[in-house]
Amino acid sequence: MASSKYNPQRRSLLKNSLITAAAASVGVNRLVFAATPNVATTHAGGKVTPDAIKMLADKLPGAVVSAGDAGYEKSRLTWNGTVEQHPAVIVQARSAGDIKVAVEFAREHNLGVAVKATGHGALVPANNDALLIDTSRMKGLRVDPQAKTATFEPGVVAIEFLREAQKYGLAGPTAVSPGVGMTGYTLSGGYGDLPRVFGLGSDNLLSADVLLMDGRHITVSENENPDIFWAMRGGGGNFAIVTSMTVKLHPVSDVLSGVLTFDIDDAHKVVGALREWSKTLPDNMTMALSFFAKNVTKTPRPIITLALVYFGPETEGQPVIDKLLASLKPQSNTIKAQSYLSYFENDVQDPGYGFKNYWHGVLIDELTDPVVDILVKTVTPQDSMMMLLFSYYRGGVWSRYAENKTAVSHRNASWLLNGRAFFKGDEQVVAIAKKQVATLAQDLAPYNKGVPFTYLEYEGPSRLEDVYGAQKLDKMREIKAKYDPDNRLRFNANIPPAKSA
């Protein structure tokens, strides 16, 4: 069996899999999307000739590649190795103008449009009926320390954003892996380390410049085009292509952070202690609890890790952590004081491209004893490839946002779970991984309180109502019909446009 190996002493165990942009199974996803009755019948489905591609290349010299060209293979790659795509043509955009030309070409040739910066959010492959816009070269980034805002283009990734903001003692919500694109992360809700401290990434979005599928370039905010702005904060890339966005920043300097490690036999004791400790948890303390099969960590036995981050000075954070340690004895403890930037740079481990992922995401009210039993059962078999990663969100800033303010739902949930099989291997390994994830999904079904958009996986759009609720989903489909009636932007966790009366 092939699997990835992680260092269980590092916080990266958690960061690598906590709330990164969702990726999913290709084959099952495609079947589900094709069979879903809600999908509009106006999908683009054209083809493009070599002569047409040459004409596009003449308009965008050096920016257009197709199969066989240098740069095509790199541009088509996605982070999740299960999403294998071969778009008809790729535009390596360097400006909003390039994106406009690409969209006009797609419309003229009846092609769907896929957008990729880092590929972390790829869910459905863009193939020969699609034009892929690669925005990874669009790296514009400006921090306004007086206004406490950052404006960036879609190629900017988390670590680039944070390094620039930290020059001024500022930070904003980011994904937990350094190479995740800021734009896709924000549009997908924007989970991570900071929701309890500063809200979700989408909560901190102030405005965006976007290109619509009809070729118009507009600005969206609470005051300009508020309908699409509402939908974009949690609805992903379903409605328009972002060419730049502006987000709020917050003062962030030091943190107290690290990982506690426990044996799997301590599961109930650890979770029981967390139940009590979390009752008085301050907003600026975040935690993530993980269960790892031994095949993932290459340890003799399955392990549990608890990642803790206190946003503030050590003198304030250590007493909070000491209350927890009074009732627990971890096998190891790496908690230390450091700058926020050092914490992010040094404790991040992203395996890069090529690994395969199958996962199941749910929101859970409480880690009850029956839930803990399921978690232990999932990671203890000899052939288990599972990582079960929980982020704690009850209370804090994100839960105080009005439920109808953005498209994000389920703000009263306590725990967000990403149950993932993460591996390299042949079809036999793939089959084992799928079965393990499906079993976890079935076991947790009675405790499932909803799904975050970021963790939509192989079930496809059949779970959209679990993400948003019926009322919000209907509203988003109406907005989709207004701004993308042909559903060109469908290579994603697709929200189909409402059908005309």
Question: Residue 107, SS3?
Answer: helix
Please write the tens of the pLDDT for every residue from 233-244: 999 999 999 999
pLDDT at position 11 is: 41
* Contact between 336 and 257 (Cβ < 8 Å): yes
**Average pLDDT estimate for 265-279:** 96
* CATH architecture of structural domain 141-251: 2-Layer Sandwich (3.30)
Q: Answer with the residue of higher pLDDT: 118 or 130.
A: 130
Reply yes or no on whether the pLDDT at 377 is more than 70: yes
367 contacts: CB under 8 Å, gap ≥ 6: 271, 274, 275, 289, 390, 414, 415
* Banded model confidence at residue 38, pLDDT cuts 50, 70, 90: very low
Distance CA 150, CA 158 (A): 12
pLDDT at position 273 is: 97
pLDDT at position 457 is: 58
State percent of the chain over pLDDT 90. 58
Cα 296–chain centre separation: 21
Reply yes or no on whether the pLDDT at 196 is more than 80: yes
Reply yes or no on whether the pLDDT at 46 is more than 70: no
**Average pLDDT estimate for 90-103:** 97
2 contacts: CB under 8 Å, gap ≥ 6: 423, 424, 425, 426, 429
Q: What is the CATH number of domain 42-134?
A: 3.30.43.10
Least confident of 63-67, 70-74, 129-133, 469-473: 70-74
Distance CA 4, CA 421 (A): 10
Distance CA 16, CA 289 (A): 13
Please write the tens of the pLDDT for every residue from 433-464: 888 988 998 999 999 888 877 766 555 556 78
* Banded model confidence at residue 343, pLDDT cuts 50, 70, 90: confident
* Banded model confidence at residue 14, pLDDT cuts 50, 70, 90: very low
Please, where in the chain does CATH 3.30.43.10 lie? Answer: 42-134
pLDDT at position 362 is: 87
Please, where in the chain does CATH 3.40.462.20 lie? Answer: 12-23+253-462
**Average pLDDT estimate for 245-274:** 96
pLDDT at position 151 is: 99
**Average pLDDT estimate for 265-278:** 96
pLDDT at position 348 is: 54
Cα 114–chain centre separation: 17
> For residue 186, which of 223, 222, 154 has the smallest C-alpha distance?
154
| 12-23+253-462 to CATH, choices 3.40.462.20, 2.60.120.10, 3.30.70.2390, 1.10.3720.10 | 3.40.462.20
**Average pLDDT estimate for 341-347:** 82
